[in-house]
Amino acid sequence: MQNVEQILSFIKEDVIIGDLEVVDCLSEIDDNDQLIDGGLGLDSIETLELVASIEKKYSLKFKDYPGDVIKEKMLSLNALSTFIFEEVQKH
């Protein structure tokens, strides 16, 4: 079972830097920056790829949650990684 820091590391290193190539290095990422509309400024395609990577890695289905919950949980990397951790703990 992964902790919040390991989940955060996966999202930053494997997805944001590795797959999406939004930034070049970890120092360019602030864990409290907004994922969409500022901060990292992910576009709709990048957001879908991020969600797909998370769903695959952690066996979650974002469609199983209300849209307002997902919108809130995707405000920042910290919020997203905490959400994933809490949901994985339930299963």
Q: Which uninterrupted H or E stretch holds 52?
A: helix 44-58
Give the model confidence (pLDDT) of 40-80 as tens digits: 999 999 999 999 999 999 999 999 999 999 999 999 999 99
pLDDT at 39: 86
- CATH code for position 47: 1.10.1200.10
Domain count, the chain: 1
Residue among 57, 46, 63 nearest 84 (CA): 57
What's this model's pTM, rounded to 2 decimal places? 0.92
Give the Cα separation of 45 and 56 in Å (integer): 16
pLDDT at 14: 97
Give the Cα separation of 42 and 73 in Å (integer): 15
Query: Count of residues for the chain?
Result: 91
pLDDT at 24: 93
Range of the domain at 12: 4-90
